Chains A and B, each alone.
Chain A
Amino acid sequence: MTATADLGAARAAPSGTPLVEMRDIRVAFGGVHAVDGVTVDLYPGEVVALVGGNGAGKTTLIKTLSGAHKADSGQILIDGKPVSITNPRDARDLGVETIYQTLALADNIDAPSNVFLGRELRSRFGTLDDTAMESETRELMSRLNPRFQNFKVPVSSLSGGQRQSVAIARAVHFNARVLIMDEPTAALGPAETEEVRQLIRQLRQEGLGIFLISHDIHDVFDLSDRISVMLQGKLVGTVNKTDVTQDEVLAMIIAGKQPGDVTEEDIADLHR
């Protein structure tokens, strides 16, 4: 994709075919349009932040990509090809991995079993190969979190940060190309948050495309390349981080204004 005259002009990384395109996605719960005709895209080696208030539809939108929800209408393309994602297995097969806000861990089983949940390694007799799974998990953790040592205990007995490591390990182990992170730092302390940020930068470098859902505007400006803002199920707009100020993004989130339309008064309102 070549530079266009509008806001996309300063787009830094994106070129060629987007890794993911979600076109005109709609999801309704009863009469409520949780996601109402939203179009977003994601390029390799790019972090796109999805921001918006509570109930803006970010998580619902992203669940149509991760297979947890089916979209009522709209199209998802991966590498420019239309795909059908009806369950989490479909998404994983396409290289889309998700780290949910709840982490989605089975608390009663150990870390290796969680990392490989649904994709267990098996011996040639078809039985679970727990030793191999533990070995791979140890190797993985030595990269992600070298201090992680509790491979044999139920994950319910791990700290918040350790649990997050398990969820991240599960997402990155299977050669993900697209990573969805829903509030990855919400439950973490400052040091742990910094480690997650470091990891996001590292994965971006490795060429993954990352959708980052976050409430934290500092995280968003620190980590993302582009920012897609949602309000009441609709897309307000997608902007390059370098083209906008934090205040402009806040005005988009709260009032649904376009960056160019934001007046001094609006900004004053935001800070009142």
Chain B
Amino acid sequence: MATDVSPTTAAPTEQPKRRSAGSLLRSMEIDPRLLGMIVALAAIWIIFQVASGGTFLTPRNLWNLTVQTASVGIMATGMVLVIVSRNIDLSVGSMLALVGTAMALLQARILPEWLGLGHPMIWVITLLAGVALGAVIGAFQGFIVAYVGVPAFIVTLGGLLVWRGVAWWLSSGQTIAPMDPRFSVLGGGSNGTIGGTLTWVLAVLVCVGLIAVLVNGRRRKKKYDFALRPLWADMAIGVVGCGLVLGGVYVLNQYPLPANLAQRQIEAEGGTYTGQEIPLGLANPVVIMLAVGLIMAFIATRLRFGRYVFAIGGNPEAANLGGIKTRWTIVRVFMLMGILVAIAAAVQIARLNAATSGLGQLNELYVIAAAVIGGTSLSGGVGTIPGALLGALVAQSLQSGMVLLGVDAPVQDIVVGIVLVTAVALDSIYRRRVT
């Protein structure tokens, strides 16, 4: 055992051979792939900005971009864990259709009969029932994968056909509308935002949280006498992180409520409307996505469950010999995926204010693409939640940008397909060079 024959591994890795961007990143302990994605995103944005003659990077367009990213982003965070555990879920689009249809029926037809139209509990009951249904479907698929031993590809391919069939059977192919007014707030839109002030409060809280995490990290490392990240690096991360958050919020808050709604709101508060702009603030789906992302990142990196998912992805045999209940863990991964599908379904039907027969179509592909563009490895064991959210944003930016430029739909598909393969190719090349 034990002897490092090679001097490079024995010496502290922090010794930089040359002062390069790489060593700079290393001392800041930033994942270079995450940074690569941010750079790619910036490049895409700048290209569209130039090509569209300055209409891409506007508060309005960016605000819409965040809303459009939400539903795929929510599901992509779950898909990361599914793929990390060496599985796949092809059924999320169909599952979304089924859960969305069920939630729509519940709030538009069933609950109003029991509780009366417009009952304040309708949206809560609907949401909880949807989440429960998603959890059950996910757990069921996970059970077949983990305990019966059918490959996830097959189980969820079956699910892709079955769940959409069941959704169709529930709705007879009809569009179910409208949604409960309290429920439809979940979808964003002009009354589905948290407002400018709360958005600022949230941004400041995120900044305070980031600084607290950095300070706490230093404190713990000091306590254990570990090498500290250079103070300047921590400060740079803090400043850049807070700058991005506050700057982003500043830009998004430039997007105001439409004039007629602003007028109505101001007059309702007893003021006089003189063309003031009231910022919309973050849309509810975006707040939900960010909350989901935060919770999922916490689950993935700070809880035993997350650690086990990664261990299973790295070496299922080792995880099993380590005493991990690998099968139960897989069931829980799929169950979590189902819950996130239900949340995304709620966002989608609320946004449409209806459940249509085409709900969630092809979503499985967008979700998998987002996770994979975000650095999740299909061979398992590797992936991050922030990466998946960025991946969703990259994919959505491409799509919205091309719509903005009036690119034909078939060409859009071609571009997204090429970007997907290129992203994975670059990632494999990077990984081969590093290891």
Contact = CB atoms under 8 A, between A and B. Distances in A.
A232 to B, nearest CB: 26
B303 A117 contact: no
A221 B270 CA distance: 96
Interface residues of A, number: 54
Interface in A214-262: none
A192 interface: yes
A128 B309 CA distance: 14
B226 A168 contact: no
A107 B381 CA distance: 9
A65 to B, nearest CB: 13
A128 B315 CA distance: 20
Contacts of A118: 319, 322-324
A108 B307 CA distance: 11
A189 B5 contact: yes
A127 interface: yes
Interface in A158-196: 158-159, 161-162, 164-165, 168, 184, 188-189, 191-192, 195-196
Contact of A195 (B1, B311, B313, B321): B1
A37 B17 CA distance: 60
B68 to A, nearest CB: 33
Nearest to B217: A131
B26 to A, nearest CB: 11
Interface string B9-28: 11111000000000000000
B322 A104 contact: yes
Nearest to A188: B1
A3 interface: no
A120 interface: yes
B260 interface: no
B317 interface: yes
Contact of B226 (A66, A109, A131, A184): A131
A87 B223 CA distance: 37
A149 B314 contact: no
Contact of A117 (B224, B226, B324): B324
Contacts, number: 136
Contact of B1 (A108, A132, A192): A192
Interface residues on B, range: 35 or more
A87 B314 CA distance: 20
Contacts of B6: 159
A149 B9 contact: yes
Interface in A123-149: 126-128, 131-132, 134-135, 144-145, 147-149
A156 interface: yes
B27 to A, nearest CB: 13
A147 B9 CA distance: 9
A105 interface: yes
Given A109-B307, A134-B226, A156-B435, A148 B321 contact: no
B264 interface: no
B172 interface: no
B382 A158 contact: no
Nearest to B14: A149
B31 interface: no
B11 A161 contact: no
Contact of A135 (B224, B311, B321, B435): B224
B30 to A, nearest CB: 13
A199 B5 CA distance: 18
Interface in B80-118: none
Given A148-B2, A159-B9, A164-B2, A106 B319 contact: yes
B320 interface: yes
Nearest to B2: A145
5 contacts: A108-B381, A109-B307, A157-B435, A192-B1, A195-B1
Interface of A: 66, 68, 87-89, 92, 98, 100, 102-109, 113, 117-120, 122, 126-128, 131-132, 134-135, 144-145, 147-150, 153-154, 156-159, 161-162, 164-165, 168, 184, 188-189, 191-192, 195-196, 199
Closest 7 CB pairs of A and B: A145-B2, A106-B314, A108-B314, A118-B322, A108-B381, A164-B1, A118-B323
